[in-house]
């Protein structure tokens, strides 16, 4: 079977790092900036970055509604940090009016932006992650957390008592950045989800 085609939204954030991690996990990985590129992939990673800026760029590149439509149709997706925020059905502290982060409604959850604090409050630590055995090293950078996980949303990890990783069907999200640690287990989990979907 050919490797799944997994796109990485390449408008802002750790695009290169996610592409490398996905390739190591056995996917054919490619950047996505245009509608035809979105239409060509089996799945999509939404990287970290600044959720309000990514929302603005999704509109500018005419990707917002096509991406929402593909998610509604069952596109597998993985969001890290800002990607988690965007995959939510509701965003708290969404940003300034007219420049706010826009929910893509990929997972039935309420997410709070910058919940762990500002850039200077960034931290890392070992987090138990359901199904992965040994804890993962989690890097939190101006990270969100999940305040409400809907019915049917599986909680995969917590940090400081807060939900920091979830899955609903073929959509996965983490509040932290696994692409910068060298641990490929979360990307491997996502690629396996995509393979199962195909």
163 touches 115 (CB < 8 A): no
* Phi/psi at 159 (5° precision): -140, 135
Strand partners, 78: 45, 172
Q: Known binding site for L-glutamine: residues?
A: 49-51, 113, 141-142
81: annotated active-site residue:
yes
Is 124 a known active-site residue?
Answer: no
- The one catalytic residue in 17, 18, 179, 187 is 179
Catalytic residue among 18, 56, 177, 187: 177
Q: Is 179 a catalytic residue?
A: yes
For residues 21 and 8, is the Cβ–Cβ distance under 8 A? Answer: no
Distance CA 97, CA 25 (A): 39
Shortest CA distance to 183 belongs to which of 143, 129, 139, 137?
A: 137
Residues 178 and 157: their CA atoms lie apart, in Å, by 13
Q: Which of 81, 124, 162, 187 is catalytic?
A: 81
Rounded distance, CA 123 to CA 115, Å? Answer: 13
Annotated binding site: 49-51, 113, 141-142
Q: For residue 134, what are its two tokens? A: 């040994």
Residue 62 backbone phi and psi in degrees, to 5? 55, 40
Contacts of 65 (CB under 8 A, 6+ apart): none
Q: Which of 118, 109, 179 is nearest to 145 (CA)?
A: 109
Active site residues: 81, 177, 179
């Amino acid at each position: 079977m050919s490797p799944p085609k997994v796109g990485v939204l390449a408008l802002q954030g750790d695009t290169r790092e996610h592409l490398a991690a996905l390739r190591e996990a056995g996917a054919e990985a490619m950047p996505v900036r245009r509608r035809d590129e979105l239409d060509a992939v089996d799945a999509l990673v939404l990287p970290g970055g600044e959720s309000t800026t990514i929302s603005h760029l999704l509109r500018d590149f005419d990707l917002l509604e096509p991406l929402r439509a593909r998610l509604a149709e069952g596109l597998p997706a993985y969001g890290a940090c800002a990607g988690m925020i965007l995959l939510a059905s509701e965003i708290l502290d969404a940003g300034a009016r007219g420049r706010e982060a826009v929910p893509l409604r990929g997972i039935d959850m309420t997410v709070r932006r910058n919940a762990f604090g500002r850039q200077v409050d960034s931290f890392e630590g070992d987090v138990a992650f359901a199904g992965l055995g040994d804890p993962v090293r989690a890097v939190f950078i101006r990270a969100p957390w999940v305040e409400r996980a809907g019915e049917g949303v599986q909680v995969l990890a917590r940090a400081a008592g807060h939900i920091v990783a979830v899955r609903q069907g073929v959509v996965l999200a983490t509040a932290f950045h696994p692409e910068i640690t060298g641990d490929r287990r979360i990307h491997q989990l996502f690629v396996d989800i995509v393979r199962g979907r195909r």
